[in-house]
Chains A and B, each alone.
Chain A
């Protein structure tokens, strides 16, 4: 599958940038856009540097492309592309923004979407409004976007939605690929929805030890409409699943011990109250 080969090679580049996978070649011409540090991946506290705006981003193969950023209120801002490395401009508001790069080649229209989170004041608009806006002809939309304490984590399955010209696109193959070269795929249902598994594929994981590594994944979809082939990527970060150093079984056991302690306390109190009265 051509799209799979394309995104595998794209993510090998990400892996090189993040030091999480061995270096390999990159297919020519693949459109990519991603933050230059791991803190800009679109999540909340504990992941970003806390400075709204001003983060460095990288655009690969972005020649002749148009970059736009949607503010939380749905207003698009066109960003001038002056090179491969750039800072996203401040928009005067914080919270979730969507950055979309569109590129038109002969017979092919590419788009790359990332949702970024700018910490700070509430924007007064729900991210649902931002997600609802059609930002590219063909697009993969997080459904929902991980918020608050949620993050994409390895080993989890997440829902996404495919839209074409603003309408759900059914029966189309959607593929997820991680920076480590693994992935999953599924076919969208009649409402354009698809659930994709993020592989638990970080290397050299030591069980019971915390590991804060993160890497990129992309969800890719292709669709032919007349003479035009559309291709769209949704880029995001995922992190190593904390269940590698968290045990639910032990948690249940400790809850059980707490319940036993509660029963013991209850009996003692019952005995005391009977003796007292």
Chain B
């Protein structure tokens, strides 16, 4: 299969370019590029990375809850004036979000790309991978992203602004976010790898952050997108997914019942793509619009990525055949298989 007609290859190239741009973009266009862009990127790109080309919107949300809304409420000021910066950030976020919808996760996010590349490393090392998590595990994990969004991105910072919590809880999500450690390390800055003994709050949060980062790296070798499953950005996207212009659309057929390939290849283990037979819009809350389900759907036009209602990528039997063959070749090329082949060749010689 021509790699440039393979959606997964195209997506990886876009992810790589986005990673370089959002992590090192300042090197090319100066360190203040972020001031010219949105500072409300619908993907995890960290302000602690000083060469970053834009900033994740979760940063201003937390600061505005703490320094603006919370402070205004606590001091009896004008509520709308306190809320206005948050609304501006939300508006900027939505302007960008509408363009790509949840594809920001699957195509743009530096942390998402890093986890995908980790998984490739795991595959090439021949590690035993878990292609999908169990339905019960997925069901248990799903609410975590909502909990993190509500509690760490909005509630704790707001309570800090109100003066109910200490200032170290003003940006609690950033304190545990693996992107903070990843993107700063990627620029050669080790200052974000630490255990902070300033007080109990900083100690706990820094321990969680480091542990989570280590956990994500090793799990990422064998499990697809481990952190994405609990990422609050995924939850924030889910809230507004109905206004995005890019959608995953399903035209169910009776054969769908027996297939289920779409759910099997989904990196987020969304089994509902397979089981949903009524709804046409199947951009579920965990969907990152990566398009893998469309690639591996063997029936014509059953699954489609549509932009403004127009199909931009549709399932087709011809594409499926080529893609499936390419995937098998890709899977075979790994260190464990190479060793096995060498061992077999050695045995044959003796």
Residues of A whose CB lies within 8 Å of any CB of B are 45-46, 50, 95, 121-122, 125-128, 144, 147-150, 208-210, 242-243, 245-248, 250-263, 265-266, 269-270, 273
Q: Which residues of A contact B211 (CB under 8 A)?
A: 254-255, 257-258, 261
Q: How far is the CB of A42 from chain B (nearest CB, A)?
A: 15
Task: Assess whether B269 is interfacial by the CB under 8 Å rule.
Answer: no
A/B interface sample: 26 pairs, CB < 8 A: A121-B88, A128-B31, A128-B32, A144-B31, A147-B31, A147-B50, A149-B47, A209-B198, A245-B197, A246-B195, A248-B193, A251-B206, A252-B210, A254-B210, A254-B211, A255-B210, A258-B216, A258-B217, A259-B215, A260-B218, A262-B216, A262-B218, A262-B219, A263-B218, A266-B221, A269-B222
A246 touching B196 by the CB < 8 A rule? yes
A250 and B214 contact, CB distance less than 8 A: no
By the criterion CB–CB under 8 Å, are B214 and A256 in contact? yes
A-facing residues in B150-202 (Cβ within 8 Å): 167, 190-191, 193-199, 202
List of B residues within 8 angstroms of A208 by Cβ: 197
CA distance A45 to B174 in the complex (A): 14
Q: Are A50 and B71 in contact (CB-based, < 8 A)?
A: yes
Contact of B47 among A127, A148, A258 (CB under 8 A): A148
Find chain A residues with CB under 8 A from B196 CB. 242, 245-246
A210–B193 touching, CB < 8 Å: no
Beta-carbon contact of B193 and A126 below 8 Å: no
Q: Which residues of B contact A45 (CB under 8 A)?
A: 63, 67
> Do residues B128 and A149 form an inter-chain contact, with CB atoms below 8 A?
no
Task: Give the top 4 A-B pairs by smallest Cβ distance, nearest first.
Answer: A258-B214, A262-B218, A210-B198, A254-B210
Whether A261 contacts B210 in the complex (CB less than 8 A), given A126-B35, A144-B32, comes out as no
Say yes or no: is B223 at the interface (Cβ < 8 Å to chain A): yes
For the residues of A in contact with B, the DSSP-based class is helix
Which residues on the A side are within 8 Å of B67 (C-beta)?
Answer: 45, 50
Q: Which residues of B contact A254 (CB under 8 A)?
A: 195, 206-207, 210-211, 214
Expressed in whole angstroms, the Cα–Cα distance for A144 and B52 within the complex equals 14
Contact B190 A248 (CB under 8 A): yes
Q: Is B263 an interface position by the 8 A CB rule?
A: no
A247 engages B197 (CB within 8 Å) = yes
| A122-B36 Cα distance, complex, nearest whole Å | 9
Q: Shortest Cβ distance from A206 into chain B, in angstroms? A: 11
Q: Does B91 contact A (CB under 8 A)?
A: no
Nearest residue (CB) in A for B47 is: A148
Closest to B26 in A: A144
**Contact of A262 (CB < 8 Å), options: B63, B197, B215:** B215
How far is A169 from B291 in the complex, measured between Cα atoms in Å? 55
CB contacts (< 8 Å) of B212 on chain A: these are: 258
Across the interface, do A270 and B128 meet the contact criterion of CB distance under 8 Å?
A: yes
Chain A residue with Cβ nearest B128: A270
Asked if A258 and B210 make an inter-chain contact with CB atoms under 8 angstroms apart, the answer reads yes
Select from chain B the residue with minimum beta-carbon distance to A143. Answer: B31
Interface residue from B30, B35, B47, B130 paired with A270 (Cβ < 8 Å): B130
B213 within 8 A of A: yes
Which residues of B have CB within 8 Å of A256? 214
Contact between chains at B214 and A262 (CB < 8 Å): yes
* Distance in angstroms between the alpha carbons of A270 and B217 in the assembled complex: 17
CB-defined contacts of B33 to chain A, threshold 8 Å: 126
* Cβ contacts under 8 Å, A128 to chain B: 30-32
With A262-B218, A270-B128 known as contacts, the answer to whether A251 contacts B194 (CB < 8 A) is yes
| Contact yes or no, B195 A250, CB < 8 A | yes
Known: A247-B197, A250-B194, A251-B193. A122 touches B35 (CB 8 A): yes
Q: A147-B31, A269-B130 are in contact. Are A246 and B197 (CB under 8 A)?
A: yes
A248, B88: Cα distance in complex, Å: 37
- On whether the beta carbons of A210 and B199 are closer than 8 Å, the reply is yes
Assembled-state Cα–Cα distance A245/B195 (Å): 8
Q: Is the CB of A246 within 8 A of B194?
A: yes
B284: interface (CB < 8 Å): no
Given contacts A245-B196, A255-B210, 6 further A-B contacts (CB under 8 A): A46-B167, A254-B195, A258-B210, A258-B214, A262-B217, A265-B215
CA–CA, A259 and B215, complex, Å: 5
Complex-state Cα separation, A45 to B55, whole angstroms: 15
Which residues on the A side are within 8 Å of B47 (C-beta)? 148-149
Among B71, B190, B196, B199: residue with most chain A CB under 10 A: B196
B197 proximity list for chain A (CB < 8 A): 208-209, 245-247
Chain B's closest residue to A264 (CB) is B218
Q: How far is the CA of A261 from the CA of B223 in the complex (A)?
A: 14
CB-based contact A266/B35 at 8 Å: no
Q: Do B32 and A127 touch across chains, with their CB atoms under 8 A apart?
A: yes
Q: Which of B34, B128, B215 contacts A148 (CB 8 A)?
A: B34
In the docked arrangement, what's the CA distance between A260 and B213, Å?
Answer: 12
Query: Cβ of B290 < 8 Å from any Cβ of A?
Result: no
Q: Are A266 and B32 in contact (CB under 8 A)?
A: no
A174 to B127, CA, bound (A): 55
Indicate if the CB atoms of B198 and A245 lie closer than 8 Å: yes
**Chain A residues within an 8 Å CB radius of B297:** none
* CA of A250 to CA of B207, assembled, Å: 9
Evaluate contact between B195 and A259: CB separation under 8 angstroms. no
Q: Which chain B residues lie closer than 8 Å to A252 at the CB level? A: 193, 210
Q: Is the CB of A257 within 8 A of B214?
A: yes
B39 contacts the other chain (CB 8 A) = yes
Tell whether A259 pairs with B194 under 8 Å between CB atoms, given A50-B67, A254-B207.
no
Residue contact A261 to B130, C-beta cutoff 8 Å = no
> Is B313 among interface residues, defined by CB-CB distance under 8 A?
no
